[in-house]
Amino acid sequence: MTSTPEQPTAAPFSRIKIRTGAVVFCGDEVALIRRDRADSTHYTPPGGNVEHGEDLEGALARELQEELGLDVGQAEGGDLLWVIDQRVTRPGPTPPPRKLHLIYRLQITEDIRATLAEQELDELPDGSYEVGLIEWVDRRKAADLPLFPPIGPALAALPDPRAPITNAALDAVTDENYTWV
């Protein structure tokens, strides 16, 4: 009689995913995606996970095109603004990955902003879509928003949208300082 060995269960944070995202400025306002759920509302900068074989610039360009309809060639900047190390337990059956969020900075004009999407459709496992609304928010008010990754205080503290950053590493996000929404 032959037995099939059990597949080992991955330990929490044993896998590392990389997410590219962007703070897209138009003046002092930034594009954020608002997701309304039954028991919560939260915001996120546009972006997503880097896919297998994809480089960081390509992943960022793809995500901004998918979510905002933005061709990064129409934007200025593209410098790495912040890096956030995420190790947060989340609901669901799969062990949570460790995720590195790479947040880039771009500036666009009012003319480009007028051409961008007003909503983003995020496909769910069952083939349906969760609708995210694109909102332009004054960066100085970002600290008061339920924003993930939690870049709101750093965004609000920028002296201006083009201010140089001396330390790109923001505090890690862990179960000790964040509760999954």
Could you state, in order of their start, the residue ranges of all structural domains in the chain? 16-161
What's at 175, amino acid-wise?
A: D
C-alpha torsion 62→72→169→171, nearest 10: -60
What confidence score (pLDDT) does residue 103 get?
98
The pTM of this model reads 0.87
C-alpha to C-alpha distances, 173 to 3, 25, 61, 179, nearest whole angstrom: 41, 24, 25, 9
Q: Would you list the DSSP string of 106-151? A: EE--HHHHTTS-SEEEEE-TTS-EEEEEEEEEEGGGGGGS-BSS--
Q: Identify whether the C-beta of residue 44 lies closer than 8 Å to the C-beta of residue 32.
A: yes
What confidence score (pLDDT) does residue 14 get?
65
Class of domain 16-161: alpha beta
Q: How far apart are CA 36 and CA 43, in angstroms?
A: 9
C-alpha to C-alpha distances, 77 to 80, 107, 141, 163, nearest whole angstrom: 9, 6, 22, 12
The stretches of the chain forming alpha helices (DSSP H) are: 56-68, 110-113, 152-157
What confidence score (pLDDT) does residue 97 get?
77
Residue-by-residue pLDDT tens, the chain, 181 positions: 555 545 455 666 667 899 999 999 999 999 999 999 888 899 999 999 999 999 999 999 999 999 999 999 999 999 999 999 998 887 777 777 789 999 999 999 999 999 999 999 888 889 888 899 999 999 999 999 999 999 999 999 999 999 999 999 999 998 888 876 6
Both tokens assigned to 89:
């337990």
What confidence score (pLDDT) does residue 168 get?
95
What confidence score (pLDDT) does residue 10 get?
62
What confidence score (pLDDT) does residue 70 get?
98
What confidence score (pLDDT) does residue 13 get?
64
